[in-house]
Chains A and B, each alone.
Chain A
Amino acid sequence: MTVLAIAAKELALYFTSFLFYALAAVFLVLSGYFFYTNLGFFVLMGGVDLPRGLWQYQLLDVQRLLLVLVPLLTMRLFAEERKLGTLELLWTYPVRDGEIIAGKFVACLAVVTLMLAATALHPLLVARFYPVAAGPLLAGYLGLWLLAAAFIACGLSISAMTESQLVAGAATYGLLLFFWVITWNEAAVNEVTLHLLVPFSLFDRFYTFARGGVDTGNVCYLVLFTIAFLAFTFFALDSRRWRGVR
């Protein structure tokens, strides 16, 4: 109940902020542009395998858009409340920290889900003149959704540590990029280290989803990643015990 109250307030703030509409516009225009170019490529290549020929590229592009989008959506969630001093007020209501975190997480995930749902337009367009198998595509969207949840949890935890939205946004970009590039330079690390690092690459995890496969290990990893960062958020809020309200 209180989780929904927090979520409803966050949604109200999103939908009254210009930032949300600007981000939604950027997201939709760019994902549309990616779809247009990916479709052109698919047709040019003779268009045989839809999941690997089109959706894989499209989903990977949307994933990159999520990377750009999510930190801008999460940065204000706690930092703004710290700055305004309203977080202090929330702590005096009969609400657990976990409920505050859950409410904000749910609200942000709802916003991203809404944006992802809008991109369903692309497969619907293709389906009008080409048979689309729903399975691989749904797997890809499940992956995007889990990835978005992981990004949001990460952004939320950083936002809970600072009262500067800018710092929260910048640090979230930094951390998410780190999880992206972690396995890029394979030559720089030895075989063993690489083996240890690969499991932590969020983006390598997503690759299987993009190709239409749901791997239980990958699902568990993304869910655990999300839970871990929600726990960090909890500790960040709980730090008021020893560092005070600011």
Chain B
Amino acid sequence: MSAGPMIEVRSLTKSFGAVEAVAGISFRVDAGEIVGFLGPNGAGKTTTMRILAGIFPPTSGSVSIAGRDPVREPLACRRAVGYFPEYAPFYPDLRVAEYLRFVARLKRLPRADRRDAVARVLGSCGLEAMAHRRIGTLSKGYRQRVGLAQALLGDPPILILDEPTIGLDPGQVVEIRELIHDLRGTRTVFFSSHILSEVEAVCERVIVIARGRLVGEGTPGDLSARLGRRRRLVLRVDGPSADVAAALAAVPGVDRVDVDGGAFVLETGVDGDPVRAAGEVLQRRGWVIRELRHETADLEEIFLRLVDGGLAS
């Protein structure tokens, strides 16, 4: 596979009437990369991916798929892309193999290769046993696999996956993630998610958008560092509120203490581990710890911080 950008997006905007879904984003994805596309709901992820998949053209700016412009060469670009739409739509009344044969014909695979191509994706998505079931009778996890299978069919060099793990139970999420992980090196994968940990687990690089704009880009590690992500420790302690708060505030590594209802919320840096020190202090004073848990800032908050921090370059 040749090096160079498989996906290139330049100053992309897309408006629907007065609504600006994408407001000028630029990025590139190189051959063989697995890149996560992160953003809160309504950030413009799906719109961007639909443009990349050739569903509709951008309002302004340009997109290049394997060096081609999807507006001028729609069919060639669509051939190069396997797309998995959010919620994995399906025809409930078609059987899995029958559906995949239909997709193989639409992807214009030569007649002689279709049978093998369908058998291959049935195998790689673990669907052999379900080949003759109607898609509507399958569980959500299997339907999601059918969605992935149709994207993989015909071995497109680029895969665009829109929220491939949404609505799955944790076991199924891991399976789909492993499937994506197995594509490493052989395909260019661009997939969206609104779950940070998921993107961290699979991707080498992350692109973050919010409100239609690019707000961050880099390796998952980079991004965490730039975010200055903080941890929160929540404690419930038997003891006089003011004294406990004062004692906790004095523990090294604790930057701030808030009292929230009956709980003490400690803000700490990413590196420090004040749990041991805090425990010792409380024990010395004879105050009993009823509850102790870590709390990570929720994703929405991280995005907002990115947006407000003006990290977009």
Q: Give residues in A with beta carbon < 8 Å to B.
A: 1-2, 4-6, 8-9, 12-13, 16-17, 84-86, 88-96, 240-245
B150 within 8 A of A: yes
**Complex contacts, A93 vs chain B, CB 8 Å:** 78, 103, 106-107
Question: Is B16 a contact partner of A86 (Cβ separation < 8 A)?
Answer: no
Question: What are 21 sample pairs from A and B whose C-beta atoms fall under 8 A apart?
Answer: A4-B105, A5-B106, A8-B102, A9-B94, A9-B102, A12-B98, A84-B90, A84-B91, A84-B92, A85-B87, A86-B90, A92-B53, A93-B107, A94-B75, A94-B78, A94-B106, A240-B55, A240-B56, A242-B16, A243-B16, A244-B47
B83 at the interface (CB under 8 A from A): yes
Shortest distance from the beta carbon of A237 to any chain B beta carbon, whole Å = 11
Within 8 Å CB of A85, what residues of B?
85, 87, 89
Q: Tell me the B residues contacting A by CB distance below 8 Å.
A: 16-17, 21, 47, 50, 53-57, 74-76, 78-79, 81, 83, 85, 87, 89-94, 98, 102-103, 105-108, 150
Are B94 and A12 within 8 A (Cβ)? Answer: yes
Taking CB as reference atom, which chain A residue is nearest B50?
A245
A189 to B87, CA, bound (A): 53
Interface class of chain A by DSSP? helix
Q: Are A84 and B55 in contact (CB under 8 A)?
A: no
Does B108 contact A94, Cβ atoms closer than 8 Å? yes
Select B89's contact among A5, A16, A89, A241, beta carbons within 8 Å: A89
- Complexed CA–CA distance, A7 and B40 (Å): 39
A13 CA to B90 CA in the complex, in Å? 13
Which residues of A lie under 8 Å from residue B81 when comparing CB positions?
92
Q: A94-B75, A245-B50 are in contact. Are A86 and B91 (CB under 8 A)?
A: yes
The interface residues of chain A lying within 8 Å CB-to-CB of B17 are 242-243
Give CA–CA (A1, B17) in the complex, Å: 36
A88-B85 CB under 8 A given contacts A2-B106, A13-B91, A242-B16: yes
Contact with A92, one of B76, B83, B91 (Cβ below 8 angstroms): B83
Contact of B108 among A2, A6, A88, A92 (CB under 8 A): A2
User: Is A16 a contact partner of B90 (Cβ separation < 8 A)?
Assistant: no
Task: Find out whether the CB atom of A91 lies under 8 angstroms from the CB atom of B108.
Answer: no
For the complex, what is the distance from the CA of A9 to the CA of B56, rounded to whole Å? 24
